[in-house]
Amino acid sequence: MGNPGVVAHRVVRMALAGPSPSARDRREFHLMGAEKLAAFQESWLNMSFATLRTNQQLALSALHSFWFPWLAERNRGSSASLWQQAAHGLLCQGLAPLHRRAVANAKRLSRTTVRR
């Protein structure tokens, strides 16, 4: 996932660097890969914790329905709502680090020029 401007900037930079990139280009290319790894790891961790929290909420909801069945009539549909909120929250947690880095890269790369 990437900003089209960032992708275009980096593709042009790689094309101009050719088979022997400068030290500045090598730093940028290394940073490109390192950022993707860090964003993936942060995203994975965020989604893991969101999944753990959601599983705890679903288990609590199931236990609540089992131990207090007379309250289940009042909370009908809350399980579906919980699933929907959980899926949305999970996606938001997973995409947040990627979005944050893409925006930061777009700002940083818009200030630099491709040199050859």
Q: Which two tokens stand for residue 28?
A: 């940028």
Overall average pLDDT of the 107-114 stretch: 76
Decide: helix, strand or coil at residue 21. Answer: coil
- 18: left (phi > 0), else alpha (psi -120 to 50), else beta? left
Q: What is the pLDDT of residue 41?
A: 93
Q: Model confidence over 39-76: pLDDT tens digits?
A: 899 999 999 998 998 889 888 878 887 787 777 655 55
Q: What is the pLDDT of residue 10?
A: 81
**Inter-residue long-range contacts of 54-58, CB under 8 Å, 24+ positions, other chains counted:** 54/82, 54/86, 54/89, 54/90, 57/82, 57/86, 58/82, 58/83, 58/86
Q: What is the pLDDT of residue 108?
A: 83
The residue extents of the domains of the chain are 4-110
Q: What is the pTM of this model?
A: 0.66
